[in-house]
Amino acid sequence: MFKAPVSTLQLEIGFGGGEHLLHRATEAPRTGFIGVEPFVNGMAKMMTALGKAPLGNLRVYDDDATRLLDWLPEASLDGIDLLYPDPWPKKKHWKRRFVGVANLARFARVLKSNGRFRFASDIDSYVNWTLLACREHGAFAWQAEDAADWHQPYDGWPGTRYEAKAIREGRRPAYLTFIRK
């Protein structure tokens, strides 16, 4: 599947302009990365960057992430990143949020035991939503020992433009990590 030999497999859903995905794929050449982005502008930015500096451990998919999740084999992923997804802030639109019963079931199916689901957002209601949804699902254990844990960026975090905008506008990002039981 990859032009380079890989030993682990990561998925990033909704990579936007690809800054985070490119950074991770560059720093971990033995990890295979699949980036999903249905919007043409994000995909165009990624393809431009890859045209200048190709990466043999990175593949992209330009459609709905649920189609890819349904196609992937069971227990095939070591990790899933969902970073700054559309928050659908109006209560009447919350049913459109990516984190929900159906997609958590997809995550649980494709993640290996002890695989990581990482979620970052600056929207408090979506952070709370995700915490509750993962707890109710039962296949995920939240990895936080104290309150500061989930306000610290992930190790090696390069930041994203969405994160920078949130901080500029006075919102505090949260970085949640769940382990597949």
Q: How many CB atoms lie within 10 A of CB 116?
A: 19
At 87, the pLDDT band (50, 70, 90 cuts) reads: confident
pLDDT at 116: 98
User: What is the reported pTM?
Assistant: 0.95
User: pLDDT, tens digit, for every residue of 53-78?
Assistant: 999 999 999 999 999 999 999 999 99
- Give the percent of the chain with pLDDT over 70: 100
Place of tokens 């390069």: 158
Q: What is the CA radius of gyration of the chain?
A: 16
With beta carbons less than 8 A apart as the criterion, state whether 85 and 13 touch: yes
pLDDT digits (tens, 9 = 90+) for 99-148: 999 999 999 999 999 999 999 999 999 999 999 999 999 999 999 988 78
* 176/171 Cα distance (integer angstroms): 16
Q: Are 99 and 119 in contact (CB under 8 A)?
A: yes
> What pLDDT was estimated at residue 133?
97
Q: Is 29 helix (H, G, I), strand (E, B) or coil?
A: coil
Q: What is the mean pLDDT of residues 78-102?
A: 91
Catalytic residue positions, numbered: 86
Q: According to the model, what pLDDT value does residue 109 have?
A: 98
Residue 107's SS3 state is helix
Under DSSP, is residue 146 helix (H, G, I), strand (E, B) or coil? coil
Question: Fold for domain 8-180?
Answer: Rossmann fold (3.40.50)
